[in-house]
């Protein structure tokens, strides 16, 4: 493949305003969109603000929207676009913009703090934990999360309704609740924390209408909706809506 | 111009009440509501068209109250048949629970269950929220409404009843299985025979079961609700199977929707005399 | 005077990777108020890139393992240049540090009996690496991040404020450690907020450097943009010495194609789990590169090597699992001899060694990475790999027990920025355990130091003159074209261009194989770049301006690069991560010698423009003798390969 010149439109500006600026940039074989952004920085706009770290899809820093779709800049290969195609890059549109492609993602860090942490079981010291692979497999899937916040960005609950940010933790942090609820040794229950209840009453599980955009954009391929959010909804049903489960629990109290 | 001065505190203009969502004042100022260049509307449009077609067909068939029994086949829309005005079905799931006062089509009495099951199904919810409600129409394409509360309040909080409908759906699937077994008779009720209709019912019931068992509620009840799979090896295996079915829940939802309509249509063709059921043996 | 935001804390940790977060947790648990400063967002530190695992002799998979064996492996891997006390503490404390992570919610892969699973890795005698698939670093950083959040939740419950005793300043960069007026003790740090460009000073009697490495001075590297040697430079500028800077680890397996991903890491677990290296003739060439010191430890035939995966007790390990420096040199030699792969690497193959399902389960992110970035399905075809700059063994000269930087009271360093632990070459898996062991120690001793300072009522106050100087230094890129007549003899320079030239210089001239002439040339070029970097100018304003940030980081990269080049030129032998073409043998006389870098002009000014002399002064230090009981862990024959006769008779 030979090098060619591509047409980019990159959003530049800050909270005061801004717009899409045109750039014509060289593209070489095997490059990803982040390479092109770096080339723009090095040759045309040295102060173009962009977040990035690992450039290997492992840290989740370079989240942006490419042709309207939330993606990682470092994992979007130029070969998926036609040579004549104009490629538009904007910052994440669910969060306040800081400058150019950089947004203020503090919403996510605030939500992270609202999920009660792992509660270590009483009476087990370091080195005494015994867990089985089949039990840790489920939460391990969620711990693959690189916190790129693309799911938070694409979720219409907060993307389209700023006011819901108060009540809704977003897919990432509902998944965190699910992860802890499935952790084989989490002792939240003994500490008086009902994660199923908090999911519903404090983290806004009910806002999720399982339209699966979080799963669609996840660069780690985590099945957020099927494996975390729906099971969490089902767990909420268990404690509130299902007569058979309620009856079963009444008859024989057996830890699951 | 290069400037090393200290940045000034920014003055923000008052919020524009009309601007919300991606146009909220704090967000990057992009006039377009979305910038997707692919054919994002195709999937919701196709979903809406498919579901609409089924609704039209099933409404017609459910209200018609005719041509749903052609011995030994019964349309899945009309089984179990629980009204006095049902066509008598030899050995079939045919109970006169509703007396003569019920004048409407008997299908209306039981269709509520499979309908409710599908209406509250996690896949169909996605499909119609996207296809009919545009909530959202596609990822990163804004919703057209000004307010959203999701499934937090009435009526959508009733989606949590999926679990009940799942229990009913299992019963209905059991009855349809019985119907399929009855399909191995001939027109006069003798066992050990099979026709094209038997095959149609058989395929339908396999898909119905696959769809029902692949349901997220089923996955949860079978094992998903456990914290320690290691203490329940049998349920863990079951959960594994249901999980692999569950991964195909969408495909099964559509396949069983089509198959149930086709099964009904086949019975309709035979019952109305438009088509003669070929017998294999 | 410049507008500067000021805050006072007890302990400041610079860097929020594994070491920094572990230090912060410890300092906070000691009851100190602790601030963490990081260049990126919280949770994005370079630690997430670590793939293989955390080395700790828990003995879960092979009961023969214990800290003595781990210590032995570490010393062998570092060719006995390691500070023995650090290696000892590291081996002893690593298991506790790993187990502790579980109590904070970490979920490692498990053994069949429910304990933490451990995997094989290069240079480790037993399966020793606690891991989570091939994303162990992510698990580590997330666990520490979530522990920090847990502590903040406790503080919220107690004080009504999440950040009462532990605060993360994310996207802040520290450019100077500030001392008190006497220039004796550490008094805080100076830096800027990336988002707004505002300056800040955090006053604190104890500062922990945990800034990681220097890889961004090299062109082909597995390191992220953050790895600009900030902590190394901050320490130098504060008057602390750096040791062992000539030892830079080139990881043998980085991606080589396509060009834009060149250098991205391919985890060593690929080889630990059965992957083999082949040249273009299809030959497993590593059998030809087993050095004498390792002859007895590694398999001589392919059959024996293959049997080892199943029966490690009765067979020797495959030579693909030699320490990283050996494998990197071997790959380099194969490519030079014309037996490389089409894109200038060698082949790393798992596809013929394991079923596709197993590969996807054990190496999911490698599978993903090659599929996404190179269109290569590693379950069906071999990868192309080559050496990539990965880690710097050298760093701040610290006290092994307390991690206190030599000669600068109040300054501590842990993790990659600290030197000595890994000697001339680090074993895979030893870095994550290093972060935890010495991160905790740094937090502990920094907290104690802060406690003593507070108790004695002598909390040092930052010297305003130093703050003003630091602010002026940070602002210089904005006045590059006009002001500063003494320096700006020429047009403004593009910082990106300077950075690229620096990377090329280090890669070509002070890279994996070194020669005296090339390194002298490198020092010349560095001097030239240093002069030009004084004129590095930027456009725009201070708000999130990457050009400005890079212009500031250049100072650090140039300082650190000079350390590497000078030390490498001085050490006339080959050992671990330092390979001299003109001195290809390891020399026992060099073993007890550490090369120490100091700032040539200790007054802290960087105006010394004399190119020949440079900014760095080298000293030779003799290392303390290894404690006899630790020497007793080795066979006499083996020691004779490393230690001089004189040392042996003592």
Which B-chain residues 197-226 have CB contacts (< 8 A) with chain A? 216-217, 219-220, 224-226
> Which of B1, B3, B4 is best to mutate for the C interface (most C CBs within 10 A)?
B4
Asked if C365 contacts C51 with a C-beta cutoff of 8 angstroms, the reply is: yes
Which residues between 202 and 241 in chain A have a beta carbon less than 8 angstroms from any beta carbon of chain C? 221
Instruction: For residue C141, give the H/E element and its range.
Output: helix C136-159
HEC per residue, chain A: CCCEEEEEEEEEEECCEEEEEEEEEEECCCCEHHHHHHHHHHHCCCCCCCCCCCCCCCCCCCEEEECCEEEEHHHCEHHHCCCCCEEEEECCCCCCEEECCEECCHHHHHHHHHCCCCCCCCCCCCCCCCCCHHHHHHHHHHCCCCCCCHHHHHCHHHHCCHHHHCCCCCHHHHHHHHHHHHCCCCCCCCCCCCHHHHHHHCCCHHHCCCCCHHHHHCCCCCCHHHHHHHHHHHHHHHHHCCHHHHHHHHHCCCCC
Q: Residue A143: which of C107, C373, C494 has the nearest Cβ?
A: C107
From chain B residues 183-242, the ones with a CB under 8 A of any chain C CB are none
**Residue B236 to residue A134, Cβ atoms within 8 A:** yes
Hey, how many other C-beta atoms are within 10 angstroms of the C-beta on A68? 22
Pair (A125, A223) in one structural domain? yes
Q: What are phi and psi of A26, to 5 degrees?
A: -75, 140
Residue A90 and residue A110 in one domain: no
Mark the ranges of chain C whose per-residue pLDDT is less than 50: 481-486, 488, 607-608
Distance from C-alpha of C205 to C-alpha of C445, rounded to nearest angstrom: 12
Is residue A120 located within the same domain as residue A235?
Answer: yes
Residues of C in contact with A183 (CB under 8 A): 105, 107
Going residue by residue through chain A, which has 256 residues, state the pLDDT in tens, using 9 for 90 and above. 689 999 999 999 999 999 999 999 999 988 999 999 999 999 999 999 999 998 889 999 999 999 999 999 999 999 999 999 999 999 999 999 999 999 999 999 999 999 999 999 999 999 999 999 999 999 999 999 999 999 999 999 999 999 999 999 999 999 999 999 999 999 999 999 999 999 999 999 999 999 999 999 999 999 999 999 999 999 998 877 766 666 776 676 555 5
Contact C110 A49 (CB under 8 A): no
Q: Which of C41, C224, C496 sits opposite A54 (nearest CB)?
A: C224
**A256 located within any domain:** no
Report chain A residues whose CB lies below 8 A from the CB of B30.
Answer: 11, 19-20, 90, 93
What's the predicted TM-score (pTM) here?
0.93
pLDDT tens-digit profile, chain B (281 residues): 455 555 554 444 444 555 789 999 999 999 999 999 999 999 999 999 999 999 999 999 999 999 999 989 999 999 999 999 999 888 888 888 898 899 899 999 999 999 999 999 999 999 999 999 999 999 999 999 999 999 988 889 889 889 999 999 999 999 999 999 999 998 888 899 999 999 999 999 999 999 999 999 999 999 999 999 999 999 999 999 999 999 999 999 999 999 999 999 999 999 999 999 999 98
A interface test, pick of C215, C258, C390 with most A CB neighbours within 10 Å = C258
Q: Which chains touch A (3 or more CB pairs under 8 A)?
A: B, C
A89 and A158 fall within a common domain? no
Q: Do B4 and C542 touch (CB under 8 A)?
A: yes
* Residue position matching structure tokens 């680090």: C426
Please give the Cα distance from B113 to C377 (Å, whole number).
47
Residue A75 Cα, gap to closest chain C Cα (Å): 7
Q: How far is B229 from chain C (nearest CA, A)?
A: 13
Q: How high is the pLDDT of residue C612? A: 59
Number of residues written out for chain B: 281
Q: Catalytic site residues of C? A: 324
Number of helices (H), then strands (E), belonging to chain C: the values are 18, 20
Within a domain: A226: yes
Smallest Cβ–Cβ distance between B139 and the set A164, A208, A217 belongs to A217
Find the residue in C nearest to A122 (Cα): C103
Within this chain, do residues A98 and A160 fall inside the same structural domain, yes or no? no
Tokens of C646: 């004189």
- Cβ neighbourhood burial of C594 (10 Å; 0-12, 13-18, 19+): buried
What are A5-36's pLDDT values in tens digits?
999 999 999 999 999 999 999 999 889 999 99
Contact C540 B2 (CB under 8 A): yes
Contact by Cβ (8 Å): C223, C265: no
Work out how many CB contacts closer than 8 A connect B with C.
Answer: 30
d(CA A16, CA B27): 10
- C3 to chain B, any CB pair closer than 8 A? The answer is yes
pLDDT tens digits, A211-221: 999 999 999 99
Closest-CA residue of C relative to A123 is C103
- What burial class does residue C8 get, using C-beta atoms within 10 Å of its C-beta: 0-12 exposed, 13-18 middle, 19+ buried? middle
Do A96 and A219 lie in one domain? The reply is no
The answer to whether C264 and C255 are in contact (CB under 8 A) is yes
Chains sharing 3 or more CB pairs under 8 A with chain C: A, B
Question: Which A residues 11-30 touch C at CB under 8 Å?
Answer: 14, 28-30
Q: What is the pLDDT of residue C313?
A: 86
Burial class (CB within 10 angstroms; exposed 0-12, middle 13-18, buried 19+) of A73: buried
In this structure, is residue A227 part of a structural domain? yes
Which residue of chain A has the CA closest to C498? A42
**Of the candidates A15, A216, A235, which has its C-beta nearest B26's C-beta?**
A15
Cα–Cα distance measured from residue B205 to residue B241, given in angstroms and rounded to the nearest whole number: 19
Shortest CA gap A24–chain C (Å): 19
The residue range of the domain holding A184 is: 106-251
Do A127 and A177 have their domain in common? yes
Residues of A in contact with B142 (CB under 8 A): 156, 159-160
- The single residue listed with the structure tokens 């008086």 is A192
Q: Which of C175, C287, C283 is nearest to C604 (CA)?
A: C175
Cis peptide before B72 (omega within 30 of 0): yes
Say yes or no: A241 and A144 in one domain: yes
State whether A96 and A118 are in the same domain.
no
Distances from the Cα of A20 to the Cα of A91, B1, C212, C461, angstroms: 11, 20, 37, 48
For chain A, say whether B10 makes contact (Cβ under 8 Å).
yes
Residue with tokens 């010393």: C75
Domain coordinates in residue numbering, chain B: 39-143+154-271
Contacts of C480 in chain A (CB under 8 A): none
Within an 8 Å CB–CB cutoff, is residue B139 touching chain A? Answer: yes
Last residue of a domain, one of A58, A76, A103: A103
φ, ψ of residue C435 to 5 degrees: the values are -55, -45
ipTM of the complex: 0.94
Contact A237 B24 (CB under 8 A): no
Residue C641's CB: how many other CB atoms inside 10 A? 16
Distance from CA of C594 to the nearest CA of A (A): 32
What's residue C240's pLDDT? 97
Residue of A42, A35, A36 lying closest to A9 (CA atoms): A36
Backbone dihedral angles phi then psi of residue C174, each to the nearest 5 degrees: -95, 130
Regarding beta strands C276-278 and C395-396, do their DSSP bridges make them parallel or antiparallel, or are they unpaired?
unpaired
Do C539 and B2 make contact, defined as CB atoms within 8 angstroms? yes
Using CA atoms, how far apart are residues B111 and B78, in angstroms rounded to an integer? 8
Note whether A139 contacts C496, CB cutoff 8 Å.
no
Q: Domain C251-388 maps to which CATH number in 1.20.140.70, 3.40.50.10140, 3.90.700.10, 3.40.50.720?
A: 3.90.700.10
**pLDDT, position B90:** 83
pLDDT of amino acid A243: 65
Instruction: Provide the pLDDT for residue C480.
Output: 61
Residue ranges of E strands in chain B: 69-70, 73-74, 81-83, 94-98
The whole-angstrom distance between C196's CA and the closest CA on chain B is 7
Are A126 and C102 an interchain contact pair (Cβ–Cβ within 8 Å)?
Answer: yes
C539 and B CB contact within 8 Å: yes
| The domain boundary residue, chosen from A103, A134, A161 | A103
Q: How far apart are CA C563 and CA C397, in angstroms?
A: 13
Give A221's contacts in chain C (Cβ within 8 Å).
Answer: 368
Fill in the DSSP letter of residue C460: P
What is the CATH number for A143?
Answer: 1.10.1060.10
N- to C-terminal Cα distance for chain A? Answer: 58
C615 CA: distance to closest CA in chain B (Å): 27
Cα maximum dimension of chain B: 96
Task: Give how far B128 is from chain A: nearest CA, Å.
Answer: 9
Q: Are residues A198 and A169 in the same domain?
A: yes
């Amino acid at each position: 493949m030979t090098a060619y010149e591509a047409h980019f439109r990159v959003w530049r500006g800050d909270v005061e305003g801004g717009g899409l600026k045109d750039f014509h940039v060289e593209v070489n074989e095997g490059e990803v969109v982040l390479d092109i952004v770096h080339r723009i920085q090095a040759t045309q706009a040295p102060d173009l603000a962009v977040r990035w770290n690992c450039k290997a899809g492992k840290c989740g820093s370079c989240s942006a929207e490419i042709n309207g779709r939330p993606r990682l800049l470092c994992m979007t290969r130029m070969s998926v676009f036609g040579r004549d195609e104009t490629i538009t890059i904007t910052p994440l549109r669910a969060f306040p913009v800081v400058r150019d492609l950089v947004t203020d993602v503090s919403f996510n860090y605030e939500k992270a703090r609202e999920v009660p942490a792992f509660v270590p079981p009483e009476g087990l010291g370091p080195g005494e934990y015994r867990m089985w692979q089949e039990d840790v497999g489920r939460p391990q899937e969620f711990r693959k999360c690189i916190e790129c916040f693309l799911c938070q960005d694409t979720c219409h609950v907060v993307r389209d309704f700023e006011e819901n940010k108060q009540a809704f933790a977003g897919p990432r942090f509902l998944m965190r609740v699910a992860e802890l609820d499935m952790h084989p040794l989490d002792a939240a229950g003994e500490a008086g924390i009902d994660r199923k209840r908090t999911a519903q009453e404090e983290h806004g599980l009910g806002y999720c209408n399982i339209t699966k955009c979080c799963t669609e954009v996840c660069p780690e391929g985590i099945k957020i909706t099927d494996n975390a959010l729906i099971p969490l909804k089902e767990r909420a049903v268990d404690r509130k809506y299902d007569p058979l489960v309620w009856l079963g629990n009444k008859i024989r109290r057996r830890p699951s | 111009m290069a400037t090393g001065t200290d940045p000034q505190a920014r003055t923000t203009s008052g919020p524009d009440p009309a601007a919300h969502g991606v146009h909220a004042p704090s967000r990057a100022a992009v006039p377009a509501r979305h910038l997707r260049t692919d054919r994002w509307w195709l999937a919701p449009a196709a979903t809406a068209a498919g579901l609409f077609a089924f609704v039209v067909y099933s409404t017609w068939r459910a209200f018609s109250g005719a041509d749903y029994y052609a011995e030994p086949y019964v349309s899945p829309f009309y089984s179990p048949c629980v009204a006095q005005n049902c066509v008598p079905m030899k050995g079939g799931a045919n109970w006169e629970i509703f007396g003569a006062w019920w004048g409407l089509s008997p299908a209306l009495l039981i269709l509520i269950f499979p309908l409710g099951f599908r209406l509250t199904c996690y896949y169909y919810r996605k499909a119609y929220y996207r296809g009919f409600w545009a909530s959202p129409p596609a990822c990163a394409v804004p919703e057209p409404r000004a307010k959203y509360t999701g499934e937090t309040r009435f009526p959508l909080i009733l989606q949590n009843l999926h679990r009940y409908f799942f229990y009913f759906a299992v019963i209905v699937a059991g009855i349809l299985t019985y119907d399929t077994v009855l399909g191995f008779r001939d027109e006069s009720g003798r066992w050990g025979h099979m026709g094209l209709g038997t095959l149609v019912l058989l395929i339908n019931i396999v898909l119905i079961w696959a769809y029902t068992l692949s349901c997220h509620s089923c996955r949860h009840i079978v094992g998903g609700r456990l914290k320690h799979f290691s203490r329940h090896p049998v349920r863990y295996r079951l959960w594994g199977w249901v999980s692999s079915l569950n991964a195909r829940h969408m495909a099964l939802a559509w396949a069983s929707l089509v198959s149930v309509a086709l099964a009904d249509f086949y019975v309709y063709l035979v019952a109305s005399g438009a088509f003669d059921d070929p017998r294999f043996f | 005077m410049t507008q500067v935001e000021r805050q006072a804390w007890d302990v400041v940790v610079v860097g929020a990777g594994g070491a920094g977060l572990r230090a912060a947790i410890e300092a906070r648990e000691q009851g100190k108020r602790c601030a963490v400063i990081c260049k990126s967002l919280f949770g994005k530190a370079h630690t997430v890139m670590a793939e293989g695992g955390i080395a700790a002799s828990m003995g879960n998979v092979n009961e023969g393992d214990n800290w003595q064996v781990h210590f032995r492996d570490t010393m062998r891997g570092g060719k006995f240049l390691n500070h023995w006390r650090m290696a000892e503490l590291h081996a002893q404390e690593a298991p506790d540090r790993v187990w502790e992570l579980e109590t904070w919610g970490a979920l490692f892969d498990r053994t069949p009996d429910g304990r933490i699973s451990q995997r094989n890795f290069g240079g480790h005698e037993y399966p020793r690496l606690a891991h989570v698939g091939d994303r162990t670093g992510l698990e580590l950083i997330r666990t520490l991040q979530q522990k920090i959040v847990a502590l903040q939740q406790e503080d919220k419950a107690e004080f009504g404020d999440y950040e009462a005793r532990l605060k993360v300043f994310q996207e802040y960069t520290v450019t100077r450690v500030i001392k008190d007026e006497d220039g004796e003790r550490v008094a805080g740090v100076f830096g800027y907020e990336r988002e707004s460009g505002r300056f800040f000073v955090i006053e604190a009697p104890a500062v922990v450097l945990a800034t990681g490495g220097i890889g961004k001075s090299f062109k082909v590297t597995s390191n992220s943009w953050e790895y600009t040697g900030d902590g190394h430079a901050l320490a130098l500028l504060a008057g602390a010495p750096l040791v062992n800077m000539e030892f830079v680890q080139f990881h043998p397996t980085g991606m080589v194609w396509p060009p834009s991903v060149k250098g991205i890491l391919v985890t060593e677990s690929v080889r630990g789990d059965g992957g083999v290296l082949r040249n273009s003739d299809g030959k497993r060439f590593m059998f030809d590169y087993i050095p004498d010191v390792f002859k007895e430890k590694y398999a001589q035939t392919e059959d024996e090597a293959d049997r080892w995966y199943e029966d490690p007790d009765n067979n020797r390990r495959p030579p693909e699992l030699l320490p990283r420096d050996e494998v990197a040199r071997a790959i380099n030699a194969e490519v030079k001899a014309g037996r490389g792969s089409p894109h200038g690497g060698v082949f790393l193959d798992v596809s013929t060694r394991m079923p596709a399902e197993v590969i996807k389960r054990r190496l999911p992110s490698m599978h993903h990475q090659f599929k996404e970035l190179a269109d290569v399905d590693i379950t069906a075809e071999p990868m192309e790999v080559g050496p990539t700059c990965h880690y710097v063994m050298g760093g701040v000269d610290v006290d092994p027990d307390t991690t206190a930087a030599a000669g600068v009271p109040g300054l501590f360093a842990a993790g990659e920025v600290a030197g000595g632990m890994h000697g001339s070459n680090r074993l895979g898996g030893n870095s994550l355990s290093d972060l935890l062991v010495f991160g905790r120690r740094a937090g502990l001793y920094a907290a104690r130091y802060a406690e003593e300072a507070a108790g004695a009522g002598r909390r040092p106050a930052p010297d305003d003159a130093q703050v003003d100087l630091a602010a002026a230094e940070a602002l210089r890129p904005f006045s590059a074209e006009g002001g500063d007549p003494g320096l700006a003899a020429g047009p403004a320079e593009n910082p990106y261009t300077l950075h690229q030239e620096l990377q090329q210089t280090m890669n070509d001239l002070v890279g994996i194989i070194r020669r005296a002439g090339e390194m002298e040339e490198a020092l010349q070029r560095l001097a030239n770049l240093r002069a030009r970097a004084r004129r590095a100018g930027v456009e725009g304003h201070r708000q999130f301006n990457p050009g400005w940030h890079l212009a500031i980081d250049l100072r650090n990269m140039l300082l650190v690069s000079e350390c590497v080049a000078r030390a490498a030129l001085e050490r006339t032998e080959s050992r671990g991560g330092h390979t001299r073409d003109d001195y290809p043998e390891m020399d026992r006389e060099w073993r007890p010698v550490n090369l120490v870098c100091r700032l040539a002009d200790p007054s802290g000014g960087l105006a010394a423009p004399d190119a020949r002399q440079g900014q760095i002064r080298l000293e030779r230090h003799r290392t303390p003798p290894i404690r006899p009981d630790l020497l007793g862990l080795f066979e006499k024959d083996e020691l004779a390969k490393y230690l001089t006769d004189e040392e042996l008779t003592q």
